[in-house]
A and B are shown apart, each in its own frame.
Chain A
Amino acid sequence: GENVEQHPSTLSVQEGDSAVIKCTYSDSASNYFPWYKQELGKRPQLIIDIRSNVGEKKDQRIAVTLNKTAKHFSLHITETQPEDSAVYFCAASKGGGSNYKLTFGKGTLLTVNP
């Protein structure tokens, strides 16, 4: 089955710096890649997603890039703020047929220091 590796497991940055989280996936049939943010004690929330027919997607300070050949995708957060501190999860899905499930990476704890 699908396997998603996520790095780093922890990331500490200064406010205003950029943060990059990387994920690799194993199943070349995967075609949907969402990112979730989970603050302490709260539910995971979808912050951005990308499909395999797109190489990059931006939403204000957040961007995601996808390299299908290398089977990896990355989350970029620019101008980080203390409220960006959370655990971020990447996931992959191939959809279709009976494959309606997300396989998650183990998560990255991002700490933004004021």
Chain B
Amino acid sequence: KAGVTQTPRYLIKTRGQQVTLSCSPISGHRSVSWYQQTPGQGLQFLFEYFSETQRNKGNFPGRFSGRQFSNSRSEMNVSTLELGDSALYLCASSAKTGQDGYTFGSGTRLTVV
């Protein structure tokens, strides 16, 4: 059974640019969540999608957005990149609620220069 796949693994972008990250959940999983991991702030919740609907959103600026497709694959977009957006972005999937256990992907390491 394939795990959660995130692409790309590494990205280097310049301030002001935008970036799109992709996440393919475990087959059959319909809930996809995104987290930002930084040394100082730990793991912070960005948003969660289920059946193409955003069910919950964390305290991030509107520059951070996401979507989910009918096949449960999800993308997140960050516009007008800032140096502080440099982080590991983790995607996690679960069958339905998250309380059935989240499986994380390996993440996308974003560096903004």
Q: Which residues of A contact B (CB under 8 A)?
A: 31-32, 34, 36, 42-46, 49, 51, 89, 91, 93, 95, 98-107
Contact = CB atoms under 8 A, between A and B. Distances in A.
Interface string B78-113: 000000000000100000011101111111000000
B99 A32 contact: yes
A46 B42 contact: no
B75 interface: no
Contacts of A107: 42-43
Contacts of B99: 31-32, 51, 93, 95, 100
Given A89-B42, A106-B42, A99 B56 contact: yes
Nearest to B103: A46
Contacts of A102: 33, 43, 45, 98, 102
B55 A100 contact: yes
A91 B104 CA distance: 14
B97 A44 contact: no
Contacts of B48: 100-101
A34 B107 CA distance: 20
Contact of A100 (B31, B43, B103): B31
9 contacts: A36-B104, A43-B90, A43-B104, A46-B102, A98-B55, A102-B102, A103-B45, A105-B42, A106-B42
Interface string B29-53: 0010101000000111100101000
Given A42-B106, A104-B35, 18 more contacts: A32-B99, A36-B104, A43-B90, A43-B105, A45-B104, A89-B42, A89-B43, A93-B98, A100-B97, A101-B33, A101-B45, A101-B58, A102-B45, A102-B102, A104-B43, A104-B44, A105-B42, A106-B42
Nearest to B3: A43
Nearest to A32: B99
B104 to A, nearest CB: 4
Nearest to A1: B59
Given A44-B104, A45-B104, A101 B42 contact: no
A95 B97 contact: yes
Nearest to B6: A43
